[in-house]
Amino acid sequence: MNPGAKTEITVQGIAASQGIAYGQIFVYLQSDVEVPAYQVQPEKRVDEIARFDHALVVTRQQISKIKHEVEKNIGPKEAAIFDAHLMVLEDEALIGETIREFESSGCNIETCFQKISSRYVQAFAEIDDEYLRERTGDLRDVAQRVLQNLLGQAENSLGRLADKRIVVASDISPSDSASIDRSAALALVTDTGSKTSHAVIVARSMKVPAVVALRDLTKRVTNGDWAVVDGYDGLVILHPSESTLFRYGKIEERKKSFEARLLEASREPAVTLDGVAVALMANIEKVEEVARVKACSAEGVGLFRTEYLFLNSARIPTEQEQFLAYKTVAEAVAPHPVIIRTLDLGGDKPMAGNAGLFPKENNPFMGFRAIRFCLEHPDIFKDQLRAILMAGAHGKVRLMYPMISGSEELARANALLAECRSELQARGQAFDENMPVGAMIEIPSAAATADLLAKECAFFSIGTNDLIQYLLAIDRVNDRIAHLYEPTHPAVIRTLAYVVEQAHKQGVPVGVCGEMAGDPVFVPLLLGLGLDSLSMAPAWLPAVKYLVRAMTLADARALAAEALTLASPKEIYSRCDAFYRARVRVE
Ligand code: PEP
Ligand code: MG
């Protein structure tokens, strides 16, 4: 194919993960299939039922094939889940009711099947039996597959890309992003989203370029179109011309040689030119990522987002399963510490197939998420707390609560933790009795009461992704207002300074684990404000370390002191940018 055959089109979005990709597009259709509704002529009704039968047969063949592949590549236990999927297809009630609905309404079979299967999904989600409730996800998956076959839509899955592709989607949910085929996604590009949506965080951790907020791009492209994704400037160039490809080839070469220099620096200690050591740690979402923590010479894991263990699974992982995951990470990073954050499900990270646990909300980011969910589900929470305490016997583990809003909530969480300690003691189980316990500071009320929280915490970690969204009232995943999401807003800087001041008065160290910590432009400001450690996606650590080694803490303090006197977020940003550019040159 000649990539230059069509006219080149440049679409501007928001740069979300650095890097350049060139390749063919795969349009990822969201799992909720759009079903047209129409009446079927009486003489076509027999054919309509035959069409339904055919779709069921094709679906069965697809699932059997996947089952076979999983069995061969992973194992029989994992393949067994597809038996449950096959059983859905044999379900007489579901199939029979669909046909009865069709006979009485005369509506096309997709509409009837969607109506009946959604009713089943809803009923399963509300059942008071955990095993049956867990089948909701299976049912939903199979129903989507049948609908796709009925509508003649090609099967698509982010977890099984046929080839290396640029993934274009209207949005990517956290569970979709958790299952992305990391070896085949060249870049992620979405119509909606912002720099801190979770799909973008995953893209950054995969070191895959990402551009978001491209509005209606999914409607302007088709599978197989060629494109360049520029994750530095937030551009997607469709049908790139030869000269564009040449230009991007050059940019990529320069960036590659710069990255080689960064990688070299990352093996050196993170010490400023005036001799101050800075703790740089890594954020991880999955146990497997621990290898990257070591590869980038991070001083441990500053944020382990444990909810991904839950998002990747059709059911809630048991205490033992969680223990093994946490222990693996703790052992791998020892003697460095791992900060295990308790569950932050809900918000934009609901658990698929558990609609009963996460009812739909109008305002999910201000709703039933994280510690709020855990305190209302003490059984789920305590399984996790015990698993973390037990992992403490195998490495340097610290426990951290997300979304703490004040000291009463912290006390309630700590009371459950105390119960867990007694239970483990009664079992005679080995665990870390003195595990340091900290809180994320990511809600303004926590920041304002930092002095009170510091009394009960061994450390703080500031979640700037959420803190900024709540301080500035900017939904972090809403692309329409993404330009207003400003980490250098004076309110943000003053809040950071206040938290550090209050914590330090009581000898409590403060880190940052939001995306701000991994952006070299903001790093001097954070260090100048007195932050003790920074935790970021492993991919960003070399660039941050390079900068740390090229600056003095004294200069960073001066920058922060000046920033605290300025009123304009843009002006503060440009001071930070100038600081960075004066010390780091790409060429
Ligand atoms: C944050 O809010 O900054 C943070 C690190 O947590 P998450 O991005 O997982 O909400
Ligand atoms: Mg957060």
Assign domain 3-30+158-252 to a CATH class: alpha beta
**CA quadruple 222, 236, 200, 321: dihedral sign:** positive
Q: Where are the domains of the chain?
A: 3-30+158-252, 42-151, 260-467+510-583
User: From ligand 1's centre to the CA of 344, what distance in Å?
Assistant: 9
Catalytic annotation, pick one of 112, 296, 457, 513? 513
Q: Whose CA is nearest to atom 8 of ligand 1?
A: 465
**Residues, the chain:** 587
- How far apart CA 42 and CA 103 sit, in angstroms, is 10
Superfamily per CATH, domain 42-151: PtsI, HPr-binding domain (1.10.274.10)
pLDDT in tens, the chain (587 residues): 444 467 999 999 999 888 899 999 988 866 566 778 899 998 888 999 999 998 998 888 877 876 776 566 556 765 676 787 788 888 888 999 999 999 999 999 999 999 999 888 888 777 777 666 666 767 777 887 888 788 776 555 666 665 789 999 888 766 566 667 767 789 999 998 887 777 777 777 778 899 999 988 988 888 889 999 999 899 999 999 989 998 998 888 888 888 888 888 778 999 999 999 999 999 999 999 999 999 889 999 999 999 989 887 778 899 999 999 999 999 999 999 999 999 999 877 877 666 678 877 888 899 999 999 999 999 999 999 999 999 999 999 999 999 999 999 999 999 999 999 999 999 999 999 999 999 999 999 999 999 999 999 999 999 999 999 999 999 888 878 888 889 999 999 999 999 999 999 999 999 999 999 999 999 999 999 999 999 999 988 999 999 999 999 999 999 999 999 999 999 999 999 999 989 987 65
Q: Which residues pair with 396 in a beta bridge?
A: 337
Q: Whose CA is nearest to atom 4 of ligand 1?
A: 463
Query: Could you tell me which of 531, 533, 548 has the C-alpha nearest to residue 337?
Result: 533
- How far apart CA 205 and CA 85 sit, in angstroms, is 32
> Model pTM greater than 0.75?
no
The three-point CA angle 544-548-551 to 5° equals 135
User: From ligand 1's centre to the CA of 351, what distance in Å?
Assistant: 17
Is the CB of 305 inside a 6 Å radius of any atom of ligand 1? Answer: yes
Decide if 483 is catalytic: no
User: From ligand 1's centre to the CA of 371, what distance in Å?
Assistant: 13
Query: Could you tell me which of 18, 547, 539 has the C-alpha nearest to residue 296?
Result: 539
Those residues with Cβ within 8 angstroms of residue 184's Cβ, 6 or more apart along the chain or in another chain: 161, 162, 163, 164, 165
Decide if 374 is catalytic: no
Q: Please give the single-letter amino acid code of residue 438.
A: G
- How far apart CA 271 and CA 262 sit, in angstroms, is 15
- How far apart CA 539 and CA 523 sit, in angstroms, is 15
CATH of 260-467+510-583, one of 3.40.50.2300, 3.40.250.10, 3.20.20.60, 3.40.50.2000: 3.20.20.60
- How far apart CA 254 and CA 242 sit, in angstroms, is 19
